[in-house]
Structure formats: C-alpha cells, structure tokens
Structure 1
Amino acid sequence: MTPPAPPPPAQRPSAAPRKRGRGLSLPPVRLPSVRLPPVRPPSFSGRLHDARTATSVGRWLGAAFLVCFATGLISHYLQHPPGWAADLLPGRPVWGYRLSQGLHVASGLAAIVLLLVKLWAVYPRLFAWPPVRSVPHAVERLSVAVLVASAVLQVFTGLLNIAEWYPWPFGFIQTHFALAWVVTGSLLLHVAVKAPAIRAHWSRSSPGTLELPARDGPDRRSLMLGVGAAVGAVTLTTVGQAFTPLARLDLLAPRHPGYGPQQLPVNRTAEAAGVTQRAVQDWRLEVRGPLPYTLTLEQLRSLPRSQARLPIACVEGWSADARWGGVRIRDLLARAGAGPGAGLRVTSMEAGGAYRVMEMGRDYAEDPLTLLALELNGQVLDLDHGYPARIIAPNRPGVLQTKWVTLLEVL
C-alpha cells in the first residue's frame, strides 16, 4: 500500500524588493488638491466709510480730545507745579479740581467710543494702493500713523489708570503727559492737511464729494444716533463717581461715592502704605521753622479747631464731599514763627511712595480752609483715611492731600 504523499512545504513570503540606500518603498500618497481663492484687495462700498461720516464723527472726537487735553493740563500742573507757579495756584473755587478732573475722565471715556468709530470709518484707507504715491503723501501717511498710534495708546492707558492697573514698565504720569502733546500736535497737523476735505463735508447741507461709492449700508444718521447713545451710556454709567446726583447709575466706574471707610472711598490703604496701628501709637507731630515745636495727639486736639466742608477729588476721576474737622495749617505755621507768604513742606509717615513728601504754596498754606484734619464726618479719622492727621485743602488733587502726616516744615 502506497503511503500518502507528505504535505507540500510552507511557502515563505517573499521579501519586498529593497531599493538600495532608501529602505522600504511606500506607495505614493496623493493629497487632494486645494485651490486657494485669489487674493483681492477689500472692497468698501458702504456710505459709512466715506469722508462725510469720518468728518461727522471727527467733530465729536476733536471736541472730546480738546476737553481732555485742557483738563489734563490743569490736573498735571496742579499735581506737579513748576517752581515759579507754586504760589500762583488758586484755592478757589473749592470744587475746581473736582470739576476739571471729572470732565477729564468723562471726556476720555467718551473719546474711546468715538475713536473706535472713527477708525472704523476710515480704515479702508489703510488698503489704498499704492501705499505711497509721493513724498507729501508719505509724510501725510506717517503723520496719520503717529496720530492713530499715540491716540490709541493715550486713551487706553488712561482707562487702565482709572482702574489702577499698570501692566507696563514705564511711568504713567510722564508718559501720559508727553503723549498728550504728541496727540494734540498730530491732530492739529492732520486737521491742517485735511482742511479742504473737512470743509467740504462739515455742513449738513453741503453734499461734498464722497471718496468711496455710496451704494449700500445703513444710514449715516442711524450710525450717529447709535454713537451718541453709546457715548451717553458710557457717560451715565461712569460720571456718577464725580457727579453724585447720578451716583445710583455709577455701574462701570471703579469707585463709588459713599462706599468705603466712613462713607468715603480710599485709593491707598494704610496696609499698602506700610502704616500700622502699632506704628501710630507713639505718634508726634513735628513742626520745623524759626520756632520749632512738637505736639502729641492730645496736645494737637486741644488747639483751636475749625470745620470745613470740602470735596476730596482723585486723579482717577472720583470725588466726594465730606465734613472735615481739625487745626488750620496757617495757625500751626504762625506758631512756628512763619512769616507772611511762607510755604509748607509736608512729610508722611508712610514707608514710601511718589507723594510721601508734598509741598504747597503760600495761597494754600494761608487759606483758612486748609486743615490738618483730625476728624471726618464727625468721627475720628479711620487709619485708611490718614489717622492720626492728614492734609485737606480746597481745589487740590487727592494725591496731595497727604495722609499720616508726621512733619511740617516752613518754607
């Protein structure tokens, strides 16, 4: 009997052919073809991108910048008066700084809305081709670039300042003051260059010449009403921090009148200034002059007292009235032998700060309303409000109403 044939040997799979020096070969991969759309410059056909709209918004924006610049100069020179002007700064009206700084912040916030709308109306010019047609055109484009950059930086750093947030490495006061001049100069140059176009589109009855075709888009009047409503909403929800009759509508401002220790807001607390209750236990007031002397708190309280109702107004735009009680500065200087026309240098016991040492001219020092305050609204000063003693003077920025006073020097 014939035995069954053995099964055929298993076939080993043949190795794939190799290409020398390239490893295994892979089948080609075919990617789907993607056709990119052609790049075309943007096309703007709406009426709201024309010169007439830009002029209409520009009138409001120019007024806001003008108010902001003028009140900013007042604020800066009240805080940092040049030496020759120290004795010329007025103490009246007592509400002067409150009004000017309230207008400064309100107009600055309104300018943010107007600036955004103005940039929206004119941004098609950024795509004009060719970008430079001549030397005068290049100068004009450069001036516009400086104006836009400086204006945007100015209003938004100002916005962060009223919120007391400083995420930049430079000093705010010096930069803000310098930028104000750059913005104003650039704005005047821009108005001079664009004067013919502004004149053509200024009057409501003058049709002017549209720089872009006006085929579609919303009506310009609707835009202007919307812009006015936006500016009004921003103003109503922030101006209450200075204009107390609207305090209930003060929804977006960082400070609210009536909120804080003794119903008065506080910017710099005692903790932030490094002043503790223990540090003021052995407090003394030192007065230096021809007849120097030192007073304890009890001795200071035994001197003739005076009352004054004065607002405290801060550079961030908030302000509030309060009743202050204390000793007149002019009485303290007279006791130290100060002559007529003497000024005053005040030093705080806080650990540091740009306004730890403050000077005031003779008009403030001799004003009967300028007090070394010991009481606020009939109560002893809270530590956050400058206990044991602080300066309160009329028509003066809040940063110069020095708290935690420990030294007075006759100048």
Structure 2
Amino acid sequence: MTSRMPRPRFAPPPFRPPVLSGRLHDARTATAVGRWLGAAFAVCFATGLVSHYLQHPPGWLADLLPSRPVWGYRLSQGLHIATGLAAIVLLLVKLWAVYPRLFVWPPVRSVRHALERLSVAVLVATAVFQVFSGLLNIAEWYPWPFSFVPVHFAVAWIAAGSILLHIAVKAPEIRAHWGRRSPGTRELPAEDVRDRRSLLLGMGAAVGVVTLTTVGQTLTPLKALDLLAPRHPDHGPQGLPVNRTAAAAGVSERGLGEWRLEVVGPRPCTLTLDALRALPQTHVRLPIACVEGWSVAADWAGIRVRELIQRAGGRPGTAALRVTSLEVSGAYRVMEMGADYAEDPLTLLALTLNGQTLSLDHGFPARIIAPNRPGVLQTKWVHRLEVL
C-alpha cells in the first residue's frame, strides 16, 4: 500500500506595489507643472463665473450687467475655452508627475494621511471632470443624463476649494521646490535638470500647438490655423456658424404663417414684417460669441430695441425686456435682458445679417443682437417682446 503525498498548498503571493523610480516623478517637477496648471484653472474659474452670471444672472444683478465693452464676452469666453483646452495638457503632465504616489503602501498611515489622500482624490476627480466635460460641451456631445451648465458650475466651486486646500496642505513642500535653488533643498544632478527642462519645454510646445489650432475660432486672424476647434468662424449660412438650427428648434417657414411681432407694454402694439422694415433701420457691427468658444463679428441691421420699448409705452432708461422665441422648447426659449442692455443703442431687433435677409437658421424673421452677451441670449425667431 502506498501512502498519498499531501498536496502542496499554494498561497497567493504577497501584494507588492509597483516600483516607480523615474527621476522626474518628484515634488520639484510637480511644483513646476502645478504653477502653470494653477494659473490656467484660476483663469478658467474667473471667466467661467463671468459666463455663468451673464447667462443666468440672479434678480439683483440683472440690471447691473454692463453692455460694454461690446467685445467683453467674446474675450472672456475665448479665454475660458483656450485656457480650458490648455489645462487638459497641463493636467495630464501633472498627473504623470505625481501618479507614483497613488501606489504608496500602506495606502493609509494615519487619520491625517487619510484626509490628505481624500482631498487629493476630490481634487483629481473634479479637475478631470471639469476639463473633459468642458471639452465634450464645446463639441456639443452630452453622453450624461444631467444638465451640463448647473453641474459644471457647482463642480467648479468644489474644484476651486480643493485646489486651495491642496495648496494650503502642501505649502511647505511647494515653497521648498518653487525656485531652481530653493533654500533647504539639495543641488540636483545636471542630468535631472536637463531632463526636467526638456519635459517642461515639451509641455509648453504641446500647449502652444493646442492653442494655435483652436484659438482661431475666437481670434479670427488665426482662423487659417483653426484645425482642431469644433467650429470655424466662416463656416455656416451667411458666413456665420450656427449651433441650433431651425429644424432642431422646431421652426419652419410654413409654421411662420402670417408672422407678427407682438410688443406688450402700457401701449401694446403688433407689427408685421413689412411694418418693421418700414421703420428707421440701424446698422451695427457686433460680434456674436457662443459659450462653446467660437465668435465672429458681423454686420447687422434692424430696429433699436429701445425704440420698440418706447413705442409700447416703456419708460426710457428704466425698462427691462422679456423676449420670447418661436422655439417649441428649450432652456433659452424665453430670455430677459436688463435695462442697460435694452437701452443700449447697439441692441437691435435684427432683420438682416451681412446685408442679407436673415436665413431661417439665423432667426428669420427677426432676432436679438446685443453687445457683450452670450450667443444663447441672442434670441432667434422672436415673436414677442414684453416691456417689464
């Protein structure tokens, strides 16, 4: 009789975190990249606040928003999108520089260490969400079930708070590695200095390429280089891009029928298109700037909104306006503008664009054009003005 040999027991190998010993995965590289990333996020946050409050002003702010300079929103939103795109490159390099710290073992060493890692997790998650959701927004692709604007705005505050907390926690380390020869730090080998300089130069070149190939959608002298932007300033009906077409808004020429403009006020009136064309026409050159970052100046002609307000009995200089579109539905179907916009002589109920009657996609028979306003508030297919 033969005895059975006991089967060997195979225990799983002990967990060993990956060894990541690259010389540039260090605090000095992270600090150098973080300076530029922090600046980009600061500009994004400030210009994002401008954009949000111009689009959705609280009641107390509505009459305080300025209509000048006429290029104000074009500049602020152009900066918002340009720095947001640059921040994608900077964030990827920053994550590359610090990712070995994600594998520290043990993952939590104390309560303080756990809180620090939690704050970093929130910072990384919100930063990644902001830049990549913003990228999908300018491409007008929304693969999520929530509304982009309020969520993007709320997460921006969380990201800003996380950045400030991170700077406060890491202040001693940041201070130690801020300069090339900061006090208390060892002299770096020449090879490390050379490699870090090459990394930062490569990062700067990547940011430059992304900027040059997208900023032309706002800075029209560079439009010939506009290769990666989702919009080109010259592409579209009547030489102007269109975000929301008439078909998407549920507006058709047949549905216009016998169109009338209804002006509601102390002395309400109704005007046909021929009657509007018979009124004195004002010609202005104004940019239209959309939240997706593209903008282009165009020649508009129509009736000053303040003249229509006065015709309906509104008091000059004090009347705000509610504008209603023929759109079937949409978050901006009804738009309000404060007295400063409504009274501005450049604010028009436009009937023509670049010397031609408005096309249906550009808002025929009438649309709003005003200085220093987001494109979503330049309401198209207007059929009702209500003096407030």
Tell me the TM-score normalized by structure 2.
0.94
Of residues 141, 145, 155, the one that matches 1:179 is 155
The 1:249–1:207 alpha-carbon spacing in structure 2 relative to 1, beyond 3 Å, is: farther
The 1:187–1:372 alpha-carbon spacing in structure 2 relative to 1, beyond 3 Å, is: same
The Cα shift of 1:218 comes to: 7.3
Indicate the SS of the match to 2:60.
helix
The Cα shift of 1:46 comes to: 1.9
2:338 aligned with 1:361, yes or no? yes
| Larger Rg, first or second structure (1 or 2) | 1
Of residues 389, 393, 396, the one that matches 2:370 is 393
Query: 1:347 matched to which residue of 2?
Result: 324
Indicate the SS of the match to 1:346.
strand
Query: 2:20 matched to which residue of 1?
Result: 44
Confirm or deny: 8 A CA contact 1:95 1:394 kept in the other structure. Answer: yes
The Cα shift of 1:216 comes to: 7.6
Confirm or deny: 8 A CA contact 1:54 1:121 kept in the other structure. Answer: yes
The AA in structure 2 aligned to 1:379 is Q
Q: Distance in 2 between matches of 1:64 and 1:372?
A: 37
Of residues 198, 204, 212, the one that matches 1:236 is 212
Query: 1:127 matched to which residue of 2?
Result: 103
Of residues 250, 256, 259, the one that matches 1:274 is 250
Q: Distance in 2 between matches of 1:368 and 1:189?
A: 46
Confirm or deny: 8 A CA contact 1:52 1:208 kept in the other structure. Answer: no
2:237 aligned with 1:256, yes or no? no
Confirm or deny: 8 A CA contact 2:74 2:287 kept in the other structure. Answer: yes
Q: Distance in 2 between matches of 1:221 and 1:145?
A: 28
Q: Distance in 2 between matches of 1:168 and 1:260?
A: 28
More helix by share: 2
Deviations 1:184-211 (A, max 9, x none): 000000000000000000012227648x
Query: 2:30 matched to which residue of 1?
Result: 54
Confirm or deny: 8 A CA contact 2:286 2:299 kept in the other structure. Answer: yes
The Cα shift of 1:40 comes to: 3.1
Q: Distance in 1 between matches of 2:324 and 2:128?
A: 37
Tell me the TM-score normalized by structure 1.
0.89
The AA in structure 2 aligned to 1:324 is W
Deviations 1:253-275 (A, max 9, x none): 00001110000000000010010
Q: Distance in 2 between matches of 1:62 and 1:130?
A: 29
Q: Distance in 2 between matches of 1:128 and 1:57?
A: 21
Indicate the SS of the match to 2:107.
coil
Confirm or deny: 8 A CA contact 1:46 1:215 kept in the other structure. Answer: no
Query: 1:189 matched to which residue of 2?
Result: 165
- In structure 1, the gaps of 5 or more residues are 1-33
Query: 1:403 matched to which residue of 2?
Result: 380
Alignment of 1:13-24 (within 5 A): none
Q: Distance in 2 between matches of 1:180 and 1:38?
A: 41
Query: 1:98 matched to which residue of 2?
Result: 74
Query: 1:18 matched to which residue of 2?
Result: none
Question: What is the CA RMSD across the aligned residues, in angstroms?
Answer: 2.0
Q: Distance in 2 between matches of 1:176 and 1:41?
A: 35
The AA in structure 1 aligned to 2:77 is Q
Confirm or deny: 8 A CA contact 1:322 1:376 kept in the other structure. Answer: yes
Indicate the SS of the match to 1:287.
strand
- In structure 2, the gaps of 5 or more residues are 1-9
2:334 aligned with 1:380, yes or no? no
Percent of paired sites with the same residue: 77
Indicate the SS of the match to 1:407.
strand
